[in-house]
């Protein structure tokens, strides 16, 4: 087989860098066009390293009118105008939040940077007043509505999960910062928020009653990750290379990849979705390893499981109701929604009559990771362990 060089976007979350460096890109731009022309206020939850930041960066490039970056992609034929909008992009994953000052510093850095471009009135001292003033001035100066992209909104809250007092302070500060977004809706062209968890969404964004949560929408279930159809149609050379490296047939490699990295479903009728981080790493190294799981289970998740009397054996087949996914509490009391949102459980079936979902491990990478890593963390080897402290 002739060697074909393929550059994989491992660690690359910037769409412009990805395209300029000729990295493999699974085309999601038809869905992006649909998203941006259907409504304008959205929330999307996906597990870590599942492509949320790349999606946000792609939206930024699109709204910035960088047409050349989209050459050959589906949106090139769909979009005729390529209107340039002012974009405010916030990424809350840039630091760790161990004190209220960490959040205040980040908010001030973003606001100050935008104010250097669009100006600031002296009477605007609070975060809410500064953001309100910015939205109005940007619209007045450019004649265009503003695009606001907020990536990893819950990073400060996940970092502080074990400190309820600090988490309360961070939540209050964030609520004040985001409060103008509804009142200034006439100045917004598009608002998009991403995160891992939904548990704090309601208390922070309660004013945004027009916020559409597309996390479990069939229409957008494949906007992150790689579907089986995309794998077979766009990554055949990659499958051939990993098959050859492991003395497998093409069909054997497909089955191996499926067992190890497939199995995610984010809605009732979602296609099979592969973990993109693990898939790209497997193709890059030509090995079947636990790439996603080995990057580290979030500390907040381990601490939560250790505090609860929970039998991990139940995770093989867990039944939950619709409302279980929408629990928005100040303190997490049920690990199931968090395990689902974090990517350790996924939808395996749906019963429409009783609106009941069956959850389970998505694939071998996650299942084996739990058995070999999380269960021994409690100090025993039993799979019947309940994580009692």
Give the pLDDT score at 388: 35
Q: Does residue 389 carry a pLDDT above 50? A: no
Q: Does residue 101 carry a pLDDT above 80? A: yes
Residues 177 and 132: beta-carbon distance below 8 Å:
no
d(CA 114, CA 311): 49
What residues pair up with 7 in beta bridges, in sequence order?
23
Q: Does residue 331 carry a pLDDT above 70? A: no
pLDDT tens column, 23-37: 999 999 999 999 999
pTM: 0.92
Residues 264 and 274: beta-carbon distance below 8 Å:
yes
Residues 43 and 214: beta-carbon distance below 8 Å:
yes
Which of helix, strand or coil describes residue 162? coil
d(CA 21, CA 166): 41
Pick from 28, 21, 20: nearest CA to 6? 21
Sheet (strand 188-195) strand order: 87-91, 146-151, 188-195, 41-45, 212-213
pLDDT tens column, 257-308: 999 999 999 999 999 999 999 999 999 999 999 999 888 766 667 667 777 7
Least confident of 124-138, 264-278, 307-321: 307-321
In angstroms, what CA-CA distances link 306 with 12, 314, 359? 33, 16, 21
Q: How far apart are the first and last CA of the chain?
A: 55
């Amino acid at each position: 087989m002739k060697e074909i060089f393929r550059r994989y976007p491992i660690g690359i979350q910037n769409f412009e860098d990805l395209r300029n460096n000729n990295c493999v890109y699974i085309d999601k731009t038809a869905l992006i066009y649909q998203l941006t022309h259907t409504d304008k206020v959205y929330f999307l939850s996906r597990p870590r390293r599942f492509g949320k930041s790349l999606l946000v960066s792609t939206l930024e490039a699109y709204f910035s009118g960088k047409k050349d970056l989209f050459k050959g992609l589906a949106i090139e034929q769909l979009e005729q105008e390529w209107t340039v909008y002012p974009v405010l992009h916030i990424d809350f994953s840039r630091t760790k939040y161990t004190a209220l000052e960490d959040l205040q510093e980040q908010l001030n850095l973003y606001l100050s940077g935008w104010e250097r471009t669009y100006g600031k009135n002296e009477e605007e001292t609070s975060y809410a007043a500064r953001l309100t003033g910015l939205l109005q001035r940007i619209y007045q100066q450019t004649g265009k509505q503003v695009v606001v992209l907020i990536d990893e909104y819950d990073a400060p809250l996940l970092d502080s999960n074990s400190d309820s007092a600090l988490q309360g302070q961070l939540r209050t500060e964030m609520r004040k910062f985001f409060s103008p977004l509804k009142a200034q809706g006439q100045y917004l062209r598009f608002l998009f928020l991403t995160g891992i968890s939904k548990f704090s969404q309601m208390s922070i964004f309660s004013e945004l009653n027009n916020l559409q949560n597309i996390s479990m929408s069939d229409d957008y279930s494949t906007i992150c990750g790689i579907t089986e159809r995309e794998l077979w149609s766009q990554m055949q050379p990659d499958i051939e290379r990993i098959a050859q490296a492991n003395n497998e047939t093409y069909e054997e490699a497909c089955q191996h990849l499926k067992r190890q990295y497939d199995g995610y479903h984010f809605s009732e009728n979602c296609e099979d979705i592969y973990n993109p981080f693990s898939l790209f790493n497997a193709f890059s190294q030509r090995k079947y390893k636990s790439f996603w799981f080995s990057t580290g289970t979030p500390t907040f998740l381990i601490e939560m499981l250790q505090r609860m009397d929970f039998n991990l054996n139940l995770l093989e087949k867990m039944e939950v109701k619709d409302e279980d996914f929408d629990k928005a509490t100040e303190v997490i009391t049920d690990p199931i929604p968090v395990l689902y949102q974090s990517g350790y459980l996924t939808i395996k079936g749906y019963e429409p009559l009783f609106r009941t979902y069956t959850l389970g491990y998505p694939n071998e990478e996650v299942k084996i990771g739990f058995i070999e890593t999380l269960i021994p963390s409690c100090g025993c080897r039993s799979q019947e362990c309940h994580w009692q402290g």
